[in-house]
Amino acid sequence: MNKAWIAGLIILLNASAVLSDELDVVIVGLFNDQAVIQINKQQHLLKVGNTSPEGVTLVSATSQAAVLEIDGVKKTYQLGKHISTNYIPAPAQPTVSLWPVNGMYLTTGSVNGFTVDFLVDTGASAIALNAKTATNLSLDYLKGPIVGVKTASGIEQAYQVNLDQVQVGDIKLYNVAAIVIDGPEPTRALLGMSFLGQLEIQHTGERMELKQKY
């Protein structure tokens, strides 16, 4: 490994480190198609199309103003104008990938911090829990509004509740609507559209990908 290659690598690493920090940019000189730009107290003479080691590109320049592109955003700046910017990448969207088991998508999550086994059900309008599961979660569901729901056993009485927090993988939602069916069904909690409707759902072959929106 030669010294020139190592030096080049160090420069690249240093440039990457700068991009992750806040930049203080000041235009200290303006000419046609050129500008003198001070970035974090380091001056650079840039021609149109040039990019500084810190990632600031001169798009155009006159004796009156310059157009700079910083982090993909182009803006016009006057002489002496201070620009403070921060290169913080947008956080990745939390994603959960599921594969079918006997044709069903099963996953383990949590409700209000307690572990719950879910069956993903896009046909259910809301998260559905049976009475035993609700009791284990310490939900005071009997005080909720009463509704009728259709189950495999016929029409059952259910109670509407709001769940403070529902989490599957790294996806976490708050104040999620649910129903508690006053009986043994569903034997496995249904992860319905009150949760799923707030996500992006994609299918790649048999794989189902749940992605939290921002």
Out of 33-37, 173-177, 190-194, least confident range: 33-37
Closest Cα partner for 158 from 175, 141, 177?
141
- pLDDT digits over 11-28, tens only? 333 443 334 357 788 888
Ranges 79-88, 112-121, 139-148, 150-159: which has the least confidence: 79-88
Beta strand segments in the chain, E: 22-31, 34-39, 42-47, 56-61, 65-70, 73-78, 82-86, 95-98, 106-111, 114-120, 127-130, 146-151, 154-168, 171-181, 189-191, 199-204, 207-212
Tell me if 68 sits within 8 A of 77, measured CB to CB: yes
How large is the average pLDDT for residues 70-95?
72
pTM (predicted TM-score): 0.59
83, pLDDT greater than 80: no
Q: Is the pLDDT at 1 greater than 70, yes or no?
A: no
The DSSP symbol for 51 reads B
pLDDT of res. 15 = 40
**Between residues 156 and 123, the one the model is more confident about:** 123
pLDDT of residue 65: 85
Residue 72 is predicted with a pLDDT of 81
**If you ran DSSP here, which 8-state letter would residue 143 be given?**
G
- Domains along the chain with CATH numbers: 3-86 (2.30.30.830), 95-212 (2.40.70.10)
The least confident of 78-82, 85-89, 135-139 is 85-89
pLDDT digit string, tens, across residues 33-77: 998 888 888 888 999 999 988 888 999 988 888 888 888 888 888
